[in-house]
Amino acid sequence: MFTSAQLHLAKVFLKIFLRNRQSIFFSMLFPLIFTGVFFFSGGPSDPIKLGLVNMSQSSIASQFSDLVIAEPSFNVTKGSLIELREELIIGDQTAIILIPEDFTFIEGSSQLSLILDASQVRQASSIQETLENSLLAIERDVRGIKPMFNLVVEDVQARPQRYIDFLLPGILAYMLMNLCIAGSGFNIVEYRRRGILKRLFVTPIQPKDFIVAIILSRMVIVLTQISVMLGLAIMLLDINVVGGLPSLYGMVILGTFIFLCIGFFLGSLAKTQEAIQPIVALTSFPQLILSGVFFPISSMHEFIQPIAHVLPLSVVVSGLRGITNDGMALLTLNSTTVGVGIWMGISFFVAIKYFVWKEVAN
């Protein structure tokens, strides 16, 4: 399957990587930090600091006040408007709720005020939503009625799905893309600049041999990195790979192949180290936005959807997501696996066809 030159070259690349302690340290640190960020950012957020000014003596006001205080997403401080306003200005409070003197239960007449600092406006909607729910609860209580409707969110495939479950395959694919393009694109420009590729070119090896060798060696490195990240995700974030790890690893291998080949192509396109960076950025950032890493492609503008669906990162994201979330098997024949197959062909073809051994004049 592989020639002895390809295997030996792959072993040499791996040896070079393993002898570079700094690169090992950072490549293992990267998935650790990555998962750590999700782990620590995924927990419950701090309660919103809320000042409460109750100017009313009515029982309704105190009932409402108690409900607001009991709300776990709020950290409520009671006090006078003047001192709370001071605290709001210096940032010790996020918002102030003002219960007016005439806060009584007369239909449509009671008005609450929410005083906000404009810089905290991001949290206004969640404060507003919680307040409205509290008011509704009081109103029902006072009127003595029970809620008529109850909204139960149920997943169509009867499995609990959190945002992290949606996000992780996307992030995994994006990380894969970055690791691979850096591993092939940047390396190849450097090897070419130093004349190492030229030296190889006067021996009877072909672009295919060189590319296959780098793919094999990077595959080992990338799979190790992904395993660290995945292991942590399974342990710390309680991620469940519905479709099974063999399929997931299979898809990671195919994705690695695609992105390494794209990296080779970009590395041949860029004549200098300075040029490779913007070229890589231009390739990866639009894909980060358009490939459904953070939100589904179907929520994008209809105009952009057909393009977004066929991007290489999109097919890998969709493949990984299909396996982790929907239990898709790697060998299933569907639009995603066909897309992966097509991108493998295209990327390998352009990587070999446009491979440049020599430093070329600008």
Binding segment toward other proteins, per CB under 8 A, in 80-88, 90-98, 197-205, 313-321: 197-205
The answer to whether 162 contacts other proteins (rule: CB under 8 A) is: no
**Cα 176 to Cα 110: distance, rounded to the nearest angstrom:** 56
Binding segment toward other proteins, per CB under 8 A, in 3-11, 41-49, 90-98, 233-241: 3-11
Distances in whole angstroms, Cα of residue 96 to Cα of each of 29, 84, 109, 165:
43, 7, 20, 36
The answer to whether 112 contacts other proteins (rule: CB under 8 A) is: no
**Least Å from the CB of residue 225 to other proteins:** 20
Distance of CA 3 to the CA centre of its chain: 38
Within 333-362, the residues that bind other proteins by CB under 8 A are 357-358
Tokens representing 161? 């799905």
**Cα 267 to Cα 189: distance, rounded to the nearest angstrom:** 5
**Least Å from the CB of residue 22 to other proteins:** 12
Tell which one of 8, 140, 162, 353 touches other proteins (CB under 8 A): 8
Which DSSP letter does residue 118 get?
G
Residue 200 or residue 350: which is nearer to other proteins going by CB?
200
The answer to whether 12 contacts other proteins (rule: CB under 8 A) is: yes
Tell which one of 3, 62, 123, 178 touches other proteins (CB under 8 A): 3
**Cα 86 to Cα 81: distance, rounded to the nearest angstrom:** 9
Tell which one of 116, 182, 196, 342 touches other proteins (CB under 8 A): 196
Tell which phi-psi region holds residue 337, choosing left (phi > 0), alpha (psi between -120 and 50) or beta. alpha
Binding segment toward other proteins, per CB under 8 A, in 11-19, 46-54, 131-139, 341-349: 11-19
The answer to whether 194 contacts other proteins (rule: CB under 8 A) is: yes
Tell which one of 128, 133, 206, 334 touches other proteins (CB under 8 A): 206
Residue 21 or residue 301: which is nearer to other proteins going by CB?
21
Tell which one of 64, 186, 201, 348 touches other proteins (CB under 8 A): 201
Residue 16 or residue 89: which is nearer to other proteins going by CB?
16
Tell which one of 140, 162, 198, 353 touches other proteins (CB under 8 A): 198
Residue 13 or residue 348: which is nearer to other proteins going by CB?
13
**What DSSP letter does each residue of 70-112 carry, written as one string?**
H-TTEEEEE--HHHHHHHHHHTS-SEEEEE-TT----TTT---
Tokens representing 312? 């290489």
CB atoms inside a 10 Å sphere around CB 247? 22
Binding segment toward other proteins, per CB under 8 A, in 189-197, 272-280, 287-295, 343-351: 189-197
Binding segment toward other proteins, per CB under 8 A, in 39-47, 131-139, 171-179, 191-199: 191-199
- Number of helices (H) and strands (E) in the chain: give both, helices first: 14, 4
**Least Å from the CB of residue 199 to other proteins:** 6
Please say whether the beta carbons of 213 and 4 come within 8 A: no
**Cα 166 to Cα 90: distance, rounded to the nearest angstrom:** 38
Tokens representing 63? 């009932």
Binding segment toward other proteins, per CB under 8 A, in 8-16, 109-117, 299-307, 340-348: 8-16
Its sign, for the CA torsion 335, 341, 343, 345, is: negative
Binding segment toward other proteins, per CB under 8 A, in 99-107, 163-171, 202-210, 214-222: 202-210
**Cα 362 to Cα 355: distance, rounded to the nearest angstrom:** 16
The answer to whether 205 contacts other proteins (rule: CB under 8 A) is: yes
What are the beta bridge partners of residue 99? 54
Residue 91 amino acid letter: G
Give contact residues for other proteins (rule: CB under 8 A): 3-5, 8-9, 12, 15-16, 19-20, 191, 194-196, 198-206, 357-358
